[in-house]
A and B are shown apart, each in its own frame.
Chain A
Amino acid sequence: MIKKILQFSKIIKTGDWFIIILFCALIIISTKFLWNLPQGEYLQIYKNNEILATYSLNQKVTKIINGEKGETKIIIDNGKVRFTSAPCTKKYCIHQGWINKANQIIICIPNKISISIFGGEKNYDSINY
């Protein structure tokens, strides 16, 4: 086993290592950024391009929205939000599951309903009041 690894390391040259490490670093750095997106504070619900409602994410509540084809059910659960039922056929919006970070969006095209999260992009660590 160790022999095989040694053989493998002989095949790849310094340039190969360079590329391997570069890509590993790229993966790590992008994970770091994407993992630390700020938690959102508010939810906006759109029908076509019109804002239907804005809710705080800090609550536990179920909302029923009337879209083009019928009722869409959305659950807000203390900081996160998801679709639980929709009159579309493919149910992509439900399969997206929970979202909780600022600028995340779920769109249900058949029913023309979309939700997006905003807020939380603060440029300070604490508030003095």
Chain B
Amino acid sequence: MRLNRPLVYLLISLLIGCNDNQVHHGKDFIFGTLIDIKIYGESKIDAEKVSNEIFTEFHHLHNLLHPWEKSLITDINNAISENKSIPIDNDEVITILSNVQRLETQTQNLFNPSIGKLIRLWGFHSNDYNQKKIPNQKKIQNLVSTNPSMQSIKIENGILKSNNKNVQIDLGGYAKGYALDQAKKILKNNNVKNALINIGGNILALGKYGERDWVVGIQNPRKPNVLATIALKPGWAIGTSGDYQRYIMVNNKRYSHLINPKTGYPENKTQSATVLLPPSEDSGALSDVFSKPLFIIDKKNKANMAKLLNIKYFLIIMEDNSILISESLNKEINWEDDIDKKNITIF
């Protein structure tokens, strides 16, 4: 009888093994986009509790950072446009503003979160953007010549002042990535080891899906399918800037929300730019921000920009369907679509 006990234990462990292969799924609609949280290996109650905590935090960020619905950011923008200073009693926002100031400099001003006026002019400050014509060229040039920059903003003793009243803060290229980092903190505080968070396409992986890494599909910019898949190692984040989600069509020409701050016009030679970033405290925010300069800068300087920002994993699809990919990513990517290998340039 004693001999048989191990076998009984084996049987019981097999039965228990049945349950723990569950993934809990949470969905919500915040930041004008779909949030999708997958939690692996926790009980349903724990997973639900943690995802609700994350959703609450996201609603809080939405109400704090929204670029056109009333928020602390729109309060700041109103004060700036009236040339007034404004007290800010929110340390989180002060930290965020100093972070984006640093990132603007680091990306040679191609990530510029102070061009809210340009984005509004192009009609993207709305949930159902459907502007039928492109803005007046003169208006665009006037706005560009005012040189909006986050560097115009000074915060001293909790008082914010901008010396350029044309600065309008729009954290659209940062907030979702920042939210990923906040979600990671909440998951860690709750001892959740394995999760995949997707905020409107920006994804952060925590731990693994059982024995294997989480796998992410990269959207084909022009077809309703996945272009490639890639395993996202524990702690890594992936972000894409694409011209296929937020854009307007005027006279059969596509104008995306990704506006070059130096010309005032949407960049139109690139379909998408994807970056993968290794684990760090702000990998979520960086994956959101760093795809912008890679998208906007002209083709011949894209690889140099990646080098400058120390991005080892990138994938860029140009308007003519040619593909620029870093050597490291090329080794790990699995192409799903029929890709013409002649079109690929490896850096």
Which of A6, A125, A128 is in CB contact (< 8 Å) with B1?
A6
Cα separation A6 to B1 with both chains bound (whole Å): 8
B11/A128 in contact, CB under 8 A: no
Tell me, yes or no, whether A14 is within 8 Å of chain B by CB. Answer: yes
CB distance from A114 to the nearest CB of B (A): 26
For window 227-267 of B, CB contacts with A under 8 Å fall at: 229, 238-240, 242, 244-245
Cα separation A95 to B239 with both chains bound (whole Å): 48
For window 77-129 of A, CB contacts with B under 8 Å fall at: 122-129
Which of B15, B196, B245 is in CB contact (< 8 Å) with A129?
B245
Which of B1, B219, B229, B239 is in CB contact (< 8 Å) with A123?
B229
A128/B14 in contact, CB under 8 A: no
Cα separation A125 to B1 with both chains bound (whole Å): 45
Task: Knowing A125-B196, A126-B38, A127-B217, say if A25 contacts B240 (CB, 8 Å).
Answer: no
Cα separation A125 to B10 with both chains bound (whole Å): 30
Q: Jot down 26 A-B pairs with beta carbons below 8 A, ordered by A.
A: A17-B4, A21-B7, A21-B10, A24-B14, A28-B14, A28-B17, A28-B18, A32-B21, A36-B21, A124-B215, A124-B226, A124-B229, A125-B196, A125-B214, A125-B216, A126-B38, A127-B201, A127-B216, A127-B218, A127-B219, A128-B201, A128-B238, A128-B239, A128-B240, A129-B240, A129-B244
Tell me, yes or no, whether A9 is within 8 Å of chain B by CB. Answer: yes
Chain A residue numbers with a CB within 8 Å of B14 are 24-25, 28
B18/A129 in contact, CB under 8 A: no
Cα separation A31 to B229 with both chains bound (whole Å): 29
Cα separation A124 to B209 with both chains bound (whole Å): 11
- In the complex, which range does the number of interface residues on chain B fall in? 35 or more
A126/B36 in contact, CB under 8 A: yes
For window 190-238 of B, CB contacts with A under 8 Å fall at: 196, 198, 200-203, 209, 214-219, 226, 229, 238
Chain A residue numbers with a CB within 8 Å of B1 are 6, 9
Residue of A25, A36, A128 ringed by the most chain B CB atoms within 10 A: A128
A28/B15 in contact, CB under 8 A: yes
Interface size on A, residues (CB 8 A): 20
Cα separation A28 to B240 with both chains bound (whole Å): 41
Task: Knowing A28-B14, A126-B216, A128-B219, say if A14 contacts B196 (CB, 8 Å).
Answer: no
Cα separation A18 to B6 with both chains bound (whole Å): 12
Chain B residue numbers with a CB within 8 Å of A18 are 7
Cα separation A25 to B17 with both chains bound (whole Å): 11
Task: Knowing A28-B18, A32-B18, say if A126 contacts B11 (CB, 8 Å).
Answer: no
A5 to chain B: closest residue by CB: B1
CB distance from B41 to the nearest CB of A (A): 14
Tell me, yes or no, whether B270 is within 8 Å of chain A by CB. Answer: no
Cα separation A28 to B17 with both chains bound (whole Å): 10
Tell me, yes or no, whether B45 is within 8 Å of chain A by CB. Answer: no
Which of A21, A32, A126 is in CB contact (< 8 Å) with B203?
A126
Cα separation A31 to B14 with both chains bound (whole Å): 12
For window 7-23 of A, CB contacts with B under 8 Å fall at: 9, 14, 17-18, 21
A125/B38 in contact, CB under 8 A: yes
